[in-house]
Amino acid sequence: MTGQLIISGLTIGSIYAMLALAMSIIYKASEIPNFAQGDMGMISTYIAYMILVVHGWPFWMAFAGAMIFAVILGFLFEFLFIRRAKEPNILNLIIVTLGFQLFLYGMTGWRWGSDQRRLGMPFSETDTINVGGVVISHLGVATILTSIIIMVMLWFFLSRTKLGLAMKAVQQNPMAAEINGIPKDRILGISFAISSVIGAMAGMMIAPITTLDPNMMWDPLMKGFAAAVLGGMTSLPGAIIGGYLLGIIENLFGFYVSLEFKSVVAFLIIVLVLVFKPAGILGHHYVRKV
Amino acid sequence: MDMKRDYYEDVQLLHGKTARFWFFLLLITLASLPFIIKGYYVYILSLMAVNVIVALGLNLLVGNTGQISLGHAGFVAIGAYTTAILMISFAVPFIPAMIAGGLIAAFFGFLLGLPALRLEGPYLAIATLAFGLAITTVIGRVGFFGGHMGLSVPAVRFESLGLTRDESVYYVAMITAVLLGIFARNFLKTRPGRAFQAVRDSDIAAAAMGVNVSYYKTLSFAVSAFYAGIAGGLWAILIGFINPGLFSFILSILYLATVVIGGLGTILGSVLGAVVVTFLSLQLENVQTIPGIGQLLEAFSKQFMTLSGLPNIVWVLTGLILILIVLFEPLGLYGIWSRIKTYWKTWPF
Amino acid sequence: MPMLKVSHITKTFGGLKALDDLSFSVEKGEIYSVIGPNGAGKSTLFNCINSIYTPENGTISYKGEEITNLSSNGVASLGIARTFQNIELFSRLTTMENLMLGRHLHMKTGLLASASMWWRGSKAAQEEIKHREKVEEIIDILDLQAYRDKFVSQLPYGIQKMVELGRALCMEPDLLLLDEPAAGLNNEEREDLIFWIRDIRDEFGITVVMIEHNMQMVVDISDRILVINFGKKLAEGLPEEVINHQEVINAYLGQP
């Protein structure tokens, strides 16, 4: 039983890991917790829904369309709003992300109403495969694989490409990066675009499990944050581990302790981590200098 | 410009004849409004008063102490449920029940303030967000709190004073709002409020002045939660029925939006923000009924969006305003107001 | 008993020793200067005394009482005030309010008293009046009248430095730590500052420990000087002794 719980925890944990990864990318580059992350993913998922269900085009087109939309959305968000804040302190930037979150939430509700819709994926959530007594749906396999593919691609991008190295440089020392000719703002825009794509994938993977509606991302967003905090906010591997861990812990808690209060686990984890190990599993905490 | 004669004038509640005149005029207007307008409009004014109270408290925390809370709906929920349960199950009269609600919310604020001591901006935002969600989850799952179905709150009516139900709620809410507004203003003029602002501007220097930074951060959370709890009790008797869905994450953001739109760190900002946001959200819920714009939006919705989703325009606009404020006018409505004031004072120069 | 006694303190950041087994003591009524090249650990020393950092080793005591592990506000409550190298004023408050924060420890108004400030005779109002009068004395001494109700973020740099000094004086401390008080001041402002620092000691009997780069000023007003480099003590003594000390000259000008 525990094995089964861990595997299904891993499935949902993959989604948390993706969201945590998306948040950590932005947090590392700008110290902004992006509260619009969830709804950016949601609206991209709606785009996929439009292409796939409403227009009836093939899945790969829906997928590509959603991803392109996510890239543009992420980049525009940074370019139009984040970059132009008058006093770009943390509070103000958090407010911008919240404002954008409300805006997207409202637009989605306005365009598609609050009906719950189904996003049909080419992977079934009812057909299962059986690995040594542990059952996992095709969709679950696809989710876990997606998260792993994203990780590998991100790792390759950050460590093997020029753009990725520039991104790392901006994350570590924005001023030095700028002096060396790296356009800091543009890199930040690209970070937002990448994170938006990862968030959109998470949205598409979670839509078949829950349903597609304007409220679908609140809970995952919170879990993504919890996972990111657990991993240390500034560490990408930490975010991934945090995501998987949270998924597993949550599932075990739901079975052995209380199913009703399963969703409070994330809150407990955030509080415990922040009180006892503010740096998370793999992050590092630093103190302001006077 | 008159010369300063005494330091009392620095901290005096109403300094000068003009200030006193306008304040008493305001009080008289507020007191006589229920005789002039009726029904639904009295309800709207009461709702504004309730939101002013939340905004005052939240602004003390965010604008003056520099902390952030994305879970204030949780404190409002605690206040509302405490008041309702005390009234239903223990037959406590409304006023003591409301104060108890405020105090219990303050206690939770204090508890949330404890981890908040170690948390900087982004972490704190996440922790408070999680708190808000956890509160509604717990309330929704426990039968004692009425679960998802919610609770009916007993009506409050001061019959001996010859008031209707709407009017009773209106007077309680208004008097509470004015009192709490004056309290907030007094805090800011004296030692505790100065300590809040010192923590906001430089916690290191504040500590070097002997300000106990942890104490004031938790105190700020507790006070802010107290305001929210009181507002929760008032809101409960105003709408007569509460359920966990009311106190959502979106409501917490809306509260934050209220203080940002009004102007961070000022009392007038809290009031302006609450009045404007309350008015806007009520108007936009029935946006079709506004002449001109209503038909336009309806046609637009039918063509490109959905008609049933039109009320969502509240969120679209609030979100946009929030972004525009940060982009162009970080001091919000208060900033615009003080700019206009300077313009008139110095005109034609 | 010395006013301030620092014994064998060590503070490291990563592998870097910012303070390395440093000891010295300051007597009551002294003007004691700490000098050294950039990065010598001077500000770290102040931050340790002020309990912003806790040293790994060694102790700091004040009037015979150990303060190494106190909190920052605990240190302040014993009567140690300080200014900062990069001005740390409360930028969105006025000069008056900044100075009133210097009175924080001398005041008692709590939340309830504050809420009930409804008339002149109320406790909170009385206390405000009393302490504003005290602040006014400091404003007079430092010539800050013109800036009383201005927001400090709008004041010129030199004035901000003076407000910071004033804020520390409002605490009525016994020991005042000044971190580069003359940095960025013009000649005239510096002359005033020298005058005031002497006054602070002579009139108020406050012991002054000062970090400063301006040698002229240091030699002018210090009773004793401590020279540190790489967190270690290079020399300590009367101004004339120190400026002629061979190691000090080497540290500043390089080995011949």
pLDDT in tens, C6-65: 999 999 988 888 999 999 999 999 999 999 888 888 999 999 999 999 999 999 999 999
Query: Per the structure block, which two tokens stand in for A144?
Result: 């876990």
What's the gap in Å between the CA of A177 and the closest CA on chain C? Answer: 23
Give the sheet arrangement for strand C207-211, strand by strand: C80-82, C175-179, C207-211, C31-35, C224-229, C232-237
CA B105 – CA A73 distance, rounded (Å): 39
Q: Is residue B80 part of a domain?
A: yes
Query: Would the CB atoms of B205 and C171 count as touching at under 8 Å?
Result: no
> Which residues in chain A (156-195) have CB-CB distances under 8 A to chain B?
none
Phi/psi of residue C177, nearest 5 degrees: -105, 120
Tokens linked to B137: 């989850």
A1 at C interface, C-beta within 8 A = no
C102 lies within 8 A of chain B by CB: yes
Please provide the DSSP assignment of C7-19 as one string.
EEEEEEETTEEEE
pLDDT of residue C33: 94
Cβ of A90 and B122 within 8 Å? yes
pLDDT of residue A222: 86
Cβ–Cβ < 8 Å for A87, B330: yes
The alpha-carbon gap from C9 to the nearest alpha carbon of chain B, in Å, equals 21
Record: contact B122-A32, CB cut-off 8 A: yes
B31-81 pLDDT, tens digit each: 998 888 877 889 999 999 999 999 999 999 999 999 989 999 999 999 999
Chain B residues inside the 8 Å CB shell of A84: 327
Task: Closest CB to B210: pick one of C84, C88, C104.
Answer: C104
- Give the residue, A278 or B204, on which the prediction is more confident: B204
Beta bridge partners of C227: C35, C235
Of C90, C109, C171, nearest to B191 by CB-CB distance is: C109
- Whether residue A290 lies within 8 A of chain C, CB to CB, comes out as yes
Q: Cis bond leading into C156, ω under 30°?
A: no
**DSSP-H helix ranges across C116-243:** 123-141, 157-170, 187-204, 215-221, 239-243
Contact B327 A290 (CB under 8 A): no
Chain A / chain B CB contacts < 8 angstroms: 163
Residues of chain A contacting residue B322, judged by C-beta atoms under 8 Å apart: 95-96, 98-99, 102
| Cross-strand bridge partners of residue C162 | none
Per-residue pLDDT, B40: 85
Q: Which residues of C touch B7 (CB under 8 A)?
A: 128-129, 132-133
Contacts of B8 in chain C (CB under 8 A): 120, 125, 128-129
Domain annotation covers residue B24: no
Q: Say which residues have a Cβ less than 8 Å from residue A264's Cβ, sequence separation at least 6.
A: B134, B137, B138
What is the predicted pLDDT for the residue at A283?
Answer: 67
Chain B contact present for A3, CB below 8 A: no
Give the position of tokens 């900087």.
B120
- Judged by CB atoms closer than 8 Å, whether chains meet at B186 and C129 is answered as no
B130 and A103 within 8 Å at the Cβ level: the answer is: no
To the nearest whole percent, how much of chain A has pLDDT over 90?
A: 40
B107 CB-contact burial (10 Å; exposed 0-12 / middle 13-18 / buried 19+): middle
Cβ contact, residue pair B125, A114, below 8 Å: no
Question: Among partner residues B66, B119, B318, which is closest to A102 by beta-carbon distance?
Answer: B318
Judging contacts by C-beta atoms under 8 Å, the chain B residues touching residue A273 are none
Interface check B256 vs A, CB under 8 A: yes
Chains in contact with B, where contact requires at least 3 CB pairs less than 8 Å apart: A, C
Q: A253 in contact with B at a CB cutoff of 8 Å? A: no
Consecutive 10-residue averages of pLDDT for chain B (349 residues): 65 82 92 86 94 97 92 96 94 94 96 77 80 86 80 84 86 95 94 95 93 93 97 95 90 94 94 94 82 82 82 90 91 91 84
Is residue B8, in this structure, part of any structural domain at all?
no
Pairing of strands C207-211, C31-35: parallel
Minimal-distance CA residue of chain C relative to B212:
C73
Three-state DSSP class for residue C179 = strand
Q: Does domain A2-276 have CATH number 1.10.3470?
A: yes
For residues C170 and B209, is the Cβ–Cβ distance under 8 A? no
Distance from CA of B330 to the nearest CA of C (A): 14
Q: H or E element: which one contains B134? A: helix B121-141
Domain hosting B266: range is 38-346
Spans of chain C, pLDDT less than 50: none
- A-chain residues near B115 (CB < 8 A): 271, 274-275
Check residue B309 and report its DSSP letter: T
B contact residues 184-213, partner C, Cβ 8 Å cutoff: 186-187, 189-195, 197-198, 200-202, 204-213
- Flag if C109 and B13 touch (Cβ within 8 Å): no
What residues in A contact C52, CB-CB < 8 Å?
Answer: 290
Q: Where are the alpha helices (DSSP H) in B202-331?
A: 203-208, 213-239, 249-262, 267-285, 293-304, 313-328
Q: How far is A94 from chain C (nearest CA, A)?
A: 21
What values do phi and psi take at C25, rounded to 5?
Answer: -140, 150
Number of helical H runs and strand E runs in chain B: 15, 2
Domain with CATH 3.40.50.300 in chain C: 1-79+173-256
Residue to test with chain A: of C11, C42, C51, C52, most A Cβ within 10 A: C52
Whether residues C92 and B200 touch (CB distance < 8 A) is answered with yes
Q: State whether A35 and B125 contact (CB < 8 Å).
A: yes
Residue B29 lies in a domain: no
DSSP per-residue string spanning B173-232 = HHHHHHHHHHHHHHHHHSHHHHHHHHHHH-HHHHHHTT--HHHHHHHHHHHHHHHHHHHH
Closest CA of chain A from B191, distance in Å: 25
Output the six-digit token pair for C220.
């002018």
For A110, the closest of B119, B129, B312 (CB atoms) is B312
In a domain, B177, yes or no: yes
CA distances from A164 to A155, B323, C218 (A): 9, 29, 51
Task: Give the separation between CA A189 and CA A276, rounded to whole angstroms.
Answer: 34
- C196 and B CB contact within 8 Å: no
pLDDT value, residue B3: 53
Whether B72 and B129 have beta carbons less than 8 Å apart is answered as no
- Among candidates B120, B313, B320 on the partner chain, residue whose Cβ is nearest the Cβ of A110: B313
Q: Is C161 on the interface with B (CB under 8 A)?
A: no
Average pLDDT over residues A124-130: 79
What CA–CA distance (Å, rounded) separates A258 from A261? Answer: 6
Inter-residue contact C132 to C96 (CB < 8 Å)? yes
d(CA A113, CA A81): 26
pLDDT single digits (tens) A150-180 = 999 999 998 889 988 888 888 888 888 889 8
Class of the CATH domain delimited by C1-79+173-256: alpha beta
Percent of chain C past pLDDT 70, that is, above it, reads 99
Residue C24 near residue C69, CB atoms below 8 Å = no
Residues C90, B197: C-beta atoms closer than 8 Å: yes
- On chain C, the residues whose CB falls within 8 A of the CB of B191 are 100, 104, 107-110, 114, 124, 127
Cα distance from A264 to chain B (closest Cα, Å)? 5
Residue A239 CB contacts under 8 Å (≥ 6 apart), including other chains: A17, A20, A21, A23, A24, A227, A228, A231, A232, A233
| Structure-block tokens of residue C213 | 């780069």
Q: Is residue B20 part of a domain?
A: no
Q: Which residue of A has its CA nearest to B310?
A: A110
A157, A173 Cβ separation under 8 angstroms: no
CB A198 within 8 A of CB A16: no
User: Which of A113, A128, A147, A131 lies closest to A12 in space, CA to CA?
Assistant: A147
Q: Write the residue in A96, A110, A263 that is nearest to B316 by C-beta.
A: A110
- Per residue, the 3-state secondary structure of chain A, as one string, reads CHHHHHHHHHHHHHHHHHHHHHHHHHHHHHCCCCCCHHHHHHHHHHHHHHHHHHCCCCHHHHHHHHHHHHHHHHHHHHHHHHHHCCCCCHHHHHHHHHHHHHHHHHHHHHHHCCCCECCCCCCCCCCEEEECCEEEEHHHHHHHHHHHHHHHHHHHHHHHCHHHHHHHHHHHCHHHHHHCCCCHHHHHHHHHHHHHHHHHHHHHHHCCCCCECCCCCHHHHHHHHHHHHHHCCCCHHHHHHHHHHHHHHHHHHHHHCCCCCHHHHHHHHHHHHHHHCCCCCCCCCCCCCC
Which has the closest alpha carbon to A97: A168, A22, A157? A22
- Could you tell me which chains touch chain A, where touching means 3 or more CB pairs under 8 A? B, C
Which of C117, C126, C134, C138 should one mutate to test binding to chain B, selecting the residue with the greatest count of B CBs within 10 A?
C117
CA dihedral C144, C150, C151, C155 (to 10 degrees): -60
Task: Residue A85: list chain B partners with CB under 8 A.
Answer: 326-327
The total of structural domains in chain B comes to 1
The DSSP 8-state label assigned to residue C34 in this structure reads E
Report the neighbours of C using a cutoff of 3 or more CB pairs below 8 angstroms: A, B
Chain A interface includes B126 (CB < 8 A)? yes
Chain segment A132-153, per-residue pLDDT in tens: 778 888 888 889 999 999 999 9
At residue A285, the pLDDT reads 54
Q: Which among B116, B69, B127, B111 is positioned nearest to A269, based on CA atoms? A: B127
